[in-house]
C-alpha cells in the first residue's frame, strides 16, 4: 500500500538553512534567535537523485524553480500559481499556532516566507506516495495533505536542533573565529546518528588569502545541513533510520582545511530578539 509505506523514493532528507539575513527585514520578516531555520523535507531515490513537481494539480508555487518537472527544456512546464496563497489553506483547520511557528522558524530569503512553504510542498511533498491526496480518504477536508506535510516537516526539524547541538560543543556563530569542517560534522554526526551533508557558499578556500596555493577548492561559508533517513512505513510515523550522507553521494561542499569554514553571525537587524 503506497499510502502506508513510502514507495516513490526510499530515502528522505530533513533540510535546514543558516542564513544571516532575509532581505525583508523592513516588513518584519526576520530570523529566529538561537536556531537554524527549516528548509524542507525532501524525498530522494537511494542514489541521491529525485523527482519534483510530481502533481501539477497540487502546484501552489507562485515562482516554480525549476519551471519544468525535469529542470530541462524538454520537461513538462510548471505554471506559476496565481490562486490564494498557501497560508490561507490552514485557516479552515484553525491552525493559527502552526502558522505562527512557521512564520518564526520557516523563513524565506528575498521573498515572503509563504512562497517558500508553497515551493516546498509543490516541488517535494507531491513526490511522496504517503502525502498523496487519496491517502487522506474521500471525506478529508481539502488541503489535509498540506497540513500533514507541514506538521511532519516541522517535527523532523525539531528532532534535529542543529544550533543547540553545535552550541553545546562550543561551536557558535562568529565573525572572528572560523571552524574546521571535521569538528562541525563530527558534532552533528554524534548527535543525529549519521553523517549529515553540510553545505557551504561563499568563496572557495583556495581563492581566499588564507587558502592561497591550497588544493582545497571547497567553499567557506556554512549555510545548510541535510539529515538523511530511510523510513520504516510512512515518514509521518517518525519511524526512521538515520543514513550517512556519504553513502548516497557527497557529504559536503565545504572546505576541509583547518579553520576554513565560517559560521557567521546574523546581520544586525536580521534576527529576532532572544
CB atoms within 10 A of CB 215: 8
Give me the pLDDT at residue 274, please. Answer: 87
Give me the pLDDT at residue 8, please. Answer: 83
Using left for φ > 0, alpha for ψ between -120 and 50, and beta otherwise, residue 16 falls in beta
CB atoms within 10 A of CB 124: 26
Please give the Cα distance from 118 to 61 (Å, whole number).
5
Helix (H), strand (E) counts: the chain: 5, 5
Give me the pLDDT at residue 198, please. Answer: 99
39 is catalytic: yes
Q: Which of 6, 39, 119, 143 is catalytic?
A: 39
Please give the Cα distance from 48 to 41 (Å, whole number).
14
Please give the Cα distance from 221 to 67 (Å, whole number).
28
Q: Which of 124, 143, 160, 224 is catalytic?
A: 124
151 is catalytic: no
Max CA distance (Å), the chain: 64
Cα 109-121-75 angle, rounded to 5 deg: 95
Please give the Cα distance from 178 to 148 (Å, whole number).
39
**The pTM of the whole model exceeds 0.95:** yes
Domains of the chain by residue range = 35-158
Residues of the chain under the 50 pLDDT cut: none
35-158 belongs to CATH 3.90.730.10: yes
Give me the pLDDT at residue 47, please. Answer: 84
Q: Which of 6, 119, 120, 271 is catalytic?
A: 120
CB atoms within 10 A of CB 250: 11
Chain-centre distance for alpha carbon 50: 15
Cell of 171: 561551536
Give me the pLDDT at residue 111, please. Answer: 98
* Beta strands in the chain, from DSSP E residues, in sequence order: 10-17, 37-45, 197-204, 219-231, 240-243
CB atoms within 10 A of CB 184: 23
Amino acid at each position: 500500500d503506497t499510502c502506508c509505506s513510502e514507495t516513490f523514493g526510499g530515502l528522505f532528507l530533513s533540510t535546514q538553512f543558516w542564513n544571516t539575513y532575509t532581505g525583508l527585514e523592513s516588513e518584519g520578516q526576520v530570523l529566529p534567535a538561537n536556531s537554524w531555520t527549516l528548509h524542507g523535507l525532501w524525498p530522494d531515490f537511494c542514489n541521491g537523485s529525485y523527482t519534483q513537481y510530481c502533481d501539477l494539480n497540487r502546484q501552489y508555487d507562485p515562482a516554480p524553480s525549476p519551471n519544468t518537472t525535469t529542470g530541462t527544456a524538454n520537461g513538462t512546464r510548471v505554471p506559476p500559481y496565481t490562486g490564494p496563497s498557501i497560508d490561507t489553506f490552514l485557516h479552515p483547520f484553525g491552525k493559527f499556532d502552526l502558522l505562527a511557528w512557521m512564520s518564526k522558524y520557516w523563513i524565506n530569503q528575498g521573498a515572503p516566507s509563504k512562497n517558500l512553504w508553497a515551493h516546498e510542498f509543490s516541488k517535494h511533498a507531491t513526490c511522496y506516495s504517503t502525502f498523496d491526496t487519496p491517502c487522506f480518504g474521500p471525506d478529508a477536508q481539502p488541503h489535509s495533505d498540506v497540513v500533514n506535510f507541514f506538521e511532519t516537516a516541522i517535527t523532523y526539524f525539531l528532532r534535529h536542533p542543529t544550533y543547540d547541538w553545535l552550541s553545546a560543543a562550543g561551536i557558535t556563530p562568529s565573525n572572528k573565529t572560523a571552524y574546521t569542517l571535521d569538528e562541525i560534522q563530527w558534532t552533528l554526526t554524534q548527535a543525529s546518528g549519521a553523517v549529515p551533508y553540510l553545505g557551504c557558499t561563499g568563496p572557495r578556500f583556495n581563492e581566499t588569502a588564507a587558502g592561497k596555493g591550497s588544493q582545497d577548492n571547497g567553499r567557506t561559508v556554512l549555510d545548510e545541513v541535510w539529515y538523511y533517513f530511510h523510513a520504516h512505513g510512512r515518514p509521518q510515523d517518525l519511524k526512521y533510520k538515520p543514513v550517512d550522507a556519504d553513502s548516497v553521494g557527497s557529504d559536503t561542499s565545504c572546505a576541509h582545511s583547518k579553520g576554513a569554514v565560517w559560521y557567521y553571525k546574523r546581520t544586525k537587524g536580521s534576527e529576532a530578539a532572544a
